[in-house]
Amino acid sequence: MAKYSKQQVIAAMQETGMVPVFYHADVETAKCVLKACHEGGVRAFEFTNRGDFAQEVFGELVKYAAKELPGMILGIGSVVDPATAAMYLQLGANFIVGPLFNPEIAPICNRRLVPYCPGCGTVSEVGKAQELGCDLCKVFPGDVLGPAFVKGLRAPMPWSQIMVTGGVKPTKENLEGWFKAGVTCVGMGSNLFPKDVIAAKEWNRITELCRDALDIIRSVR
């Protein structure tokens, strides 16, 4: 069962402006990354449903965060069907993210008052998702659609809350472009978690990358 309310989850994403996106098959590595992000100021973290037994790793992360990382909100990404969403809700997911919009997932999340952030690539998809109760929609892939899409969407639909993933980089130029366009927050993956840093277990480096990215976001808003 989700530990945080829908309002708390979206507020945390809006306040920090960034949701790290990460997957690793090793539980201990994932715990170390999660702790490093928490120390860097992250308060909403998306673990992706990407590999075999990902749900087992996620379940352990939820328990770890509840015990050791106060205020850390854990959600699950890469969810494309309602059965998978239901399974992760049972494991304690506080939000569900998808690369696409599946209308059948919305009622599963709404019943538990958990945010469903579907991946949308058109204005019509965002509109339909909002109609089904998706307060925060994910624009994906961001590197294909670009900040101009977000700006254009919010002109006639200024109430829209948007998270963009794909093509987001921890640089002032990139982040300023997205936030000036009107995003609520950004999802960031590989640029926060370089493979060589993970392999070397340089967790303090991940903390620095998160802290630097959050500092940039605060400066460009």
How does pLDDT run across 155-199, given as a tens digit for each residue?
Answer: 999 999 999 999 899 999 999 999 999 999 999 999 999 999 999
The answer, yes or no, to whether the previous bond of 141 is cis (omega within 30 of 0) is yes
Element (H, E) at 155: none
Question: Where residue 59 sits, what CATH number does that domain have?
Answer: 3.20.20.70
Q: What is the pLDDT of residue 144?
A: 97
Q: What is the pLDDT of residue 148?
A: 98
Is 61 in contact with 5 (CB distance < 8 Å)? no
Q: Is residue 1 part of a domain?
A: no
Give the separation between CA 76 and CA 93, rounded to whole angstroms. 6
Report the DSSP pairing between strands 136-139 and 119-120.
parallel
**Residue 13, token pair as written in the block:** 């994403």
Q: What is the pLDDT of residue 191?
A: 94
Q: What is the pLDDT of residue 47?
A: 98
Q: Per residue in 132-159, pLDDT tens?
A: 999 999 999 999 999 999 999 999 999 9
Total structural domains in the chain? Answer: 1
Q: What is the pLDDT of residue 33?
A: 98
Q: What is the pLDDT of residue 133?
A: 98
CA distances to 107, 154, 217 from 124, rounded to whole Å, are 19, 12, 28
Q: Is residue 98 part of a domain?
A: yes
Domain that holds residue 125: 6-220
Q: Is residue 39 part of a domain?
A: yes
Mean pLDDT of 45-73: 97
pTM of this prediction?
A: 0.97
Stated length of the chain:
221
Give the separation between CA 154 and CA 110, rounded to whole angstroms. 24
- What SS3 string covers 122-170? CHHHHHHHHHCCCCEEEECCHHHHHHHHHHHHHCCCCCCEEEEECCCCC
- 48 falls in which pLDDT band (50, 70, 90)? very high
Q: What is the pLDDT of residue 56?
A: 98
Report the DSSP pairing between strands 136-139 and 161-165.
parallel
Q: Is the Cα torsion angle 172, 218, 68, 3 positive or negative in sign?
A: negative
